[in-house]
Amino acid sequence: MHVRKISDKGQIVIPSEIRRKLEMNEGDQIAFIETKKGNLLLVNVNKIMIDEVQEL
């Protein structure tokens, strides 16, 4: 588990391990998606199809 503080500007730092796993690079767009079960997902928009997310 990774825990981060939110800055006074509402920003967080995504740990490098997570960025590598999600293949995130500078300039990528990130989506925060709530699932039907109430979980929150962090998704690299550049790597997925919108249809895939709607199934969650």
Residue 34 counted as domain residue: yes
**What does the block give as tokens for 31?**
């989506």
Residue 7 counted as domain residue: no
Residue 47 counted as domain residue: yes
Burial letters 8-47, b for 16+ CB under 10 A, else e: eeeeeeeeeeeeeebebeeeeeeeeeeeeeeeeeebbeee
DSSP 27: T
Residue 38 counted as domain residue: yes
Residue 19 counted as domain residue: no
Give me the number of domains the chain comprises.
1
| pLDDT-derived band at 46, boundaries 50, 70, 90 | confident
Residue 37 counted as domain residue: yes
Residue 4 counted as domain residue: no
| pLDDT-derived band at 45, boundaries 50, 70, 90 | confident
Amino acid identity of 17? E
Percentage of the residues of the chain whose pLDDT score is greater than 90: 32
Tell me the residue range of the domain where 30 lies. 26-54
Task: Specify the 3-state DSSP secondary structure of 28.
Answer: coil
Residue 44 counted as domain residue: yes
| pLDDT-derived band at 12, boundaries 50, 70, 90 | very high
Q: Is the pTM of this model over 0.75?
A: no
